Amino acid sequence: LSVSGINMSDVDIGKKVDYKTLETALIKAAEEIGWKARVEDKFKKNYRLGSVQEVQNYEFTQVFLSGKLLPAMRVIISKKDAPINRFSVWAGIPYGFAPERKVQEYLSAVSKNL
């Protein structure tokens, strides 16, 4: 999918892995190709009526990947509590400036680390 310079791709892992295994592989792969990785969970704020309670529900995890100066791309993991067999890669403005060959190099390193 490419919309005005934004590229989103689903990545099929080819097997099921637990969240921590995937997160570790994503971070190690970034280090191996000279990128930095920062992991951030996103939550959605909801309310429960009665005594009005604020409830936060997990939505997804983002892994921000960056080169020396600029953001490279973003990885989205949609769950933490069950085995994972896919994740998404977001590249292009505003997500990052990684060229296609660098995205493929990164994914190859992820595969090697899984």
Residue 6: per-residue pLDDT? 57
Q: With 0.75 as the threshold, say if the pTM is over it.
A: yes
Q: Cα separation of 45 and 56, whole Å? A: 5
Residue 94: per-residue pLDDT? 85
What are the strands, taking DSSP E only, across the chain? 2-3, 6-17, 36-48, 53-66, 71-77, 84-91
pLDDT (tens place) for every residue of the chain, 114 residues total: 333 455 889 999 999 999 999 999 999 999 999 999 999 999 999 888 888 888 899 999 999 999 988 999 999 999 999 999 999 999 888 889 998 899 999 999 999 999
